[in-house]
Chain A
Amino acid sequence: DAKTTQPPSMDCAEGRAANLPCNHSTISGNEYVYWYRQIHSQGPQYIIHGLKNNETNEMASLIITEDRKSSTLILPHATLRDTAVYYCIVRSAGGTSYGKLTFGQGTILTVHP
């Protein structure tokens, strides 16, 4: 699986957009980009995923560059409850490792008033 690189921490003001970057320069053609987050004392929570097109759901937007070597998770209006560790994971959707997720260190996002 492709390795991902994320900044260790970021800050964001409440109500503003939070843009969390992820580099995955070794991503291969059949690998998806997944984002999860973990709020303190809770289990990880699925946010969004994509292959090459930009994706949006009720939680966030995912922007993937045309060469697919990087992506950005966007929380359009961050709230204090969005303070969490955000994990970017690159994973193929098939093969023997199907469904296995490898969590890196992630980005600690702190949303402040």
Chain B
Amino acid sequence: DAGVIQSPRHEVTEMGQEVTLRCKPISGHNSLFWYRQTMMRGLELLIYFNNNVPIDDSGMPEDRFSAKMPNASFSTLKIQPSEPRDSAVYFCASRLQESGNTIYFGEGSWLTVV
């Protein structure tokens, strides 16, 4: 069974450019999460969706960040315009809502903004 699939795995971009990170959750899972990890702040929840609907986006740092989930098998996290302080590892995770807090993470997208 394929796990959570993220792309790209690594991206280096220039400040001001738009960045789009993609996620395919585990088939059948109905909750999806975007986390960000930095050395300074650790792992932070940015946003999560239940049944494709955003439930809590209080962790999204600012308007430059947006996330969508057009269907049950795909989500994007977009940063526009990107800034050097956005450099981090971005993790997507999914779960079957009925399973509570057992969440499965992808391998992450390593973003560097120069």
Contact = CB atoms under 8 A, between A and B. Distances in A.
Main secondary structure of the interface of B (DSSP, over half): strand
Nearest to A100: B45
13 contacts: A32-B100, A43-B91, A43-B107, A43-B108, A45-B105, A49-B100, A93-B101, A99-B31, A99-B95, A99-B97, A99-B101, A99-B103, A105-B42
A86 to B, nearest CB: 13
Interface string A35-58: 000000111111001000000000
Contact of B42 (A45, A46, A99, A104): A104
Nearest to A48: B102
Given A46-B102, A93-B100, A99 B33 contact: yes
Contacts of A103: 42-43
Interface in B79-109: 91, 93, 95, 97, 100-108
Contacts of A101: 45, 101, 103
Contacts of B108: 41-43
A43 B42 contact: no
B55 to A, nearest CB: 8
A6 B107 CA distance: 25
A98 B100 CA distance: 7
B100 A44 contact: no
Given A43-B91, A43-B107, A100-B48, A49 B101 contact: yes
Given A99-B31, A99-B95, A91 B101 contact: yes
Nearest to B59: A100
Nearest to A46: B102
Contacts of B4: 43
